[in-house]
Structure 1
């Protein structure tokens, strides 16, 4: 008899695992617990086509709310249009697709679980309930507030602005992110790469409205508002991070440390792990713990380069010059940029990123790396 699986958390990671099992392993009994009354919370997740392998596209295709061919970036000394397709998932679409795909008996909404052990019922548990102890990490912070806005007239954007760093640089590296959800609907997010996690939501909302007015858009806020603070990891103890939320159970998403160390992106990792779980021949509790822990530990080891870049960004670059790092990065070949976001940077990519005319003085960068390793 197949052992039942309890998935804790109906966010991106937990929802994708449940969907993958429902589509590829219908014989496996599972139960998805979510403390809220909706799945996916209140989020907009975005990804480039290159972030998801072709063989895993089935896992995200039904959830996509918007898709655009190409995107723009804007810096004080560089403006560029890149050809990669960009996609966004709204949490309302995520919730609707999961409700259609999952039998009602597989869902427990409004179900808060204090400890993984009490939910297992003797079967396997996959815990996806948010991050572990961030005190085990040395990190900078990516902070953001996003607002959906209606424009009085068509705004004229046909593709996203993924980074507009021509704005005033406040509290570190600041950029504005704009998604055209419709002819008169925009989702605008104001993002900061800062030394501290403090976020003044009302002040940032005011800056978003100022940005819209400066673009000539007369806007009215809609219902969607999103805010968050994510770690940008410089270094950390993976074993301590994993153990901070318990041992002996499977984990996914932020709980497992599965997020891009520089961008904070978690969707590519969520897709990869959900697809791998759906392919696994053994879904017992012990096998799932080994699979998820091993998968996350390998990802952590492979991504030391991104933590090195974060060291230079937060420990070597002055806050008001951090934008120069991203400005130079976006002048590099587009395939390299695609591989970076997918966390698949090659050896040659790494050499290309670190050589040439770096925006941070080399002695200062080397000094920061040495201090961080001390």
Structure 2
């Protein structure tokens, strides 16, 4: 079958690009293919409200986002409330938005429960043998495999119902006042409703292994220590995100590769939503000839990506795991605009100087003394 655009993978990147393209061209012949039985998987994506480009389009305003006026962070001896608007998009919400959009566009087709077996610049072949052809093919499938030259952000989260209001009016992005050990750990809490929380036990580590039973127990213990009584566990999600300190994003070429596999993510936070939003807006404007605009964006992205590689190397290779919270505490002392630009991969030269110049945080060099140092970066 012939289409204008074929997208493989209906996760965050593939889903947002599809919504943006259909909004820009209502008669576009677009096929979105997802291996699973439903789009969007089982995830929770968060980002700063300012990460969305000003010209992103009306489709973004229709997304059923959960929003807060800011968030909190906590470290031993230091805490801060940051008034940076923060948003959350759940898999359920993205799946609903996709189903509504495809139902409203007769020329668009959402194909679920069917894997892509081959993909090239001319189209895709599905597991059932059918072929979908298009001048623009986008590979938005999840990245598989281990990171080479980097660490990991790994997490397990429980969405829970409480027997009383949590008392939280905004998320806790990083509570590092939990016991540390052979990996840097913190709790991440989203108040999805007065009595509903997503609590994630997160670790930055050199190895990808995760003990689910241990993480579940830690979440229940954290909830109890916070005064929250869990009446039900509604959902569980887990993830493994790359935190590289070497390797640069590849140059865009046909077929387009987006998401983590294409290097369109923040190396120091693991977030991919800012890049996904920018790419969706860009492709909606330049669908017929996307490579020149994408390469311009890639050059900007590449320059800022290198800063993340350096910061990952400093955190993973210069601090013992139990002291890795120190550079993050230093970061959250910075002015709000510097933090916001960094999180959206928009740091200026002055921001870079503020991040890297000055007295090092306590614990700098402790990994060298412990024999954990590596010189690989870039």
Superposed pair shares fold, TM > 0.5: yes
Aligned with residue 313 of structure 1, among 304, 312, 315: 315
Q: Is the 8 A contact 1:261 1:303 kept in 2?
A: yes
**For structure 1, which runs of at least 5 residues remain unmatched after alignment?**
none
- Write out aligned runs for 1:121-160 (5 A): 121=133, 123-131=135-143, 134-135=146-147, 137-160=148-171
Distance change >3 Å, CA 309–CA 30, structure 1 → 2: same
Instruction: Return the offset for 1:216.
Output: 1.3
2:275 matches 1:269? yes
Which runs of 4 or more aligned residues in structure 1 lie more than 6 Å from their structure 2 counterparts after TM superposition? 361-370
Residue 128 of structure 2: aligned partner: none
Shift in CA distance, 354/148, structure 1 to aligned 2, threshold 3 Å? same
Show the counterpart of 1:113: 116
* Alignment partners' CA distance in 1, 2:110 and 2:287: 24
Match of 1:225 among 223, 236, 252: 236
Name the residue aligned to 2:15. Answer: 15
Aligned partner (choices 351, 370, 375) of residue 371 of structure 1: 375
Per the TM alignment, residue 139 of structure 1 is displaced from its structure 2 partner at its CA by: 0.9
Change (3 A) 1:169 1:336: same
Q: Residues of 2 paired with 1:134 and 1:213: CA distance?
A: 34
What residue in structure 2 maps to residue 35 of structure 1?
35
Q: How does 1:42-61 map to 2 (within 5 A)?
A: 42-56=42-56, 58-61=58-61
Who is 1:175 aligned against? 186
Give the stretch that moved more between structures: 195-204 or 168-177.
168-177
Question: In structure 1, what is the equivalent of residue 224 of structure 2?
Answer: 213
**Deviations, residues 150-182 of structure 1 (Å, cap 9, x unaligned):** 111111111111111111113321110111111
| Rounded Cα–Cα distance in structure 2 between residues aligned with 1:288 and 1:70 | 35
Change (3 A) 1:267 1:57: farther
The alpha-carbon deviation at position 60 of structure 1 amounts to 3.2
Q: TM-score, normalised on structure 1? A: 0.89
Instruction: Give the alignment's TM-score, normalised by structure 2.
Output: 0.88
In the alignment, the residues of structure 2 paired with residue 354 and residue 290 of structure 1 have an alpha-carbon distance, to the nearest angstrom, of 32
Aligned CA RMSD, in angstroms, stands at 2.6
Deviations 1:83-118, CA, capped at 9 Å, x for gaps: 111111111111111111113751111121111142
Residue of structure 1 equivalent to 2:333: 331
Decide whether aligned partners of structure 1 residues 133 and 238 sit closer, same or farther in structure 2, where only a CA change above 3 A counts: farther
Equivalents in 1 of 2:308, 2:25: separation in Å?
35
Instruction: Quote how far apart the aligned CAs of 1:62 are.
Output: 2.4
What SS is found at the alignment partner of 1:20?
helix
Give secondary structure in 1 for the equivalent of 2:283.
helix
SS in 1 for 2:245: strand
Q: Which among 232, 240, 245 is matched to residue 234 of structure 1?
A: 245
Deviates more, 1:192-201 or 1:124-133: 124-133
Whole-angstrom distance in 1 between the partners of 2:42 and 2:15:
14
Could you say which structure has the higher helix fraction?
A: 1
Q: Tell me how far apart the structure 2 counterparts of residues 66 and 229 of structure 1 sit (CA, whole Å).
A: 23
CA contact (8 A) 2:8 2:138 kept: yes
Aligned-pair CA distance for 1:51: 1.5
Secondary structure in structure 2 of the residue aligned to 1:56:
coil
Structure 2 gap segments, 5+ residues each = 126-130
TM-superposed deviation, 1:364: 7.3
Q: What is the aligned counterpart of 1:251 among 252, 257, 260?
A: 257
Between the aligned partners of 2:303 and 2:146, the Cα distance in structure 1 is 18
Higher mean displacement: 354-363 or 189-198: 354-363
* Equivalent position SS for 2:376: helix
